Amino acid sequence: MKILLTAGLFIVPFMLMGQKKSNEWHLDGTGYLAKDSKKGIGLGIKYLKALGEDNFITAGLSFNLFQLKSNDGLNPAKKTFPLLLGYRQNLKKLYLEPQLGIGTYGGRFYTPEFALPSQFAIFAGAESGYNLNRFSFHLKCYTAFTQTNIYLEKTFLYGGAGIAYKIVVK
């Protein structure tokens, strides 16, 4: 047992040093669709901490704005502002990344008479994509869960497609 433990103490650090690890920053833009909106757009930044050659722990922050369908001329909008943690597994050039986080969900109307405040929300979602050198093309799907509100539905499901630029950090 002592020999096995001693060998493990010497071998494991060398195995860890042999892995190619590079952390990354991703800047992304995404176009979204949601059930009650005409269109949506999102901008985000994400940090990827390398665990090995093909897997990462991720932390990302994004701002997403959705223009709602309206017939009364108010030009209403809804926004989400999630902070998401995830685990990314690369499969050659493809990747999968489940995510979970917290943030705000709400909206506002562009009139001086009425404004809709944001609320705390829990976010869950997934991202998949294709890595191509410094760029990645992705598909995203998220759900925001919040308390019942007379102006907001309890869950808000949205999905989209976009592109990200990768900055590698050693």
Nearest to 29 by CA among 68, 79, 64, 60: 64
d(CA 79, CA 147) in angstroms, rounded, equals 16
* Within a domain: 54: yes
In a domain, 4, yes or no: no
Q: Kindly report which listed range (16-20, 32-36, 49-53) carries the lowest average pLDDT score.
A: 16-20
More confident residue, 73 or 129: 129
pLDDT score, position 20: 62
pLDDT in tens, 60-118: 999 999 887 776 666 678 889 999 999 999 998 999 999 999 999 887 665 666 667 78
Structure-token pair, residue 91? 């499969």
Q: What pLDDT score was predicted for residue 22?
A: 86
Tell me which residue range forms the domain holding 53.
Answer: 21-169
Position 45 in a domain:
yes
Count structural domains, the chain: 1
Average confidence (pLDDT) over 32-55: 91
The Cα–Cα gap between 75 and 61 comes to: 26
Whole-prediction pTM:
0.80
Round the average pLDDT of the chain to a whole number and report it.
84
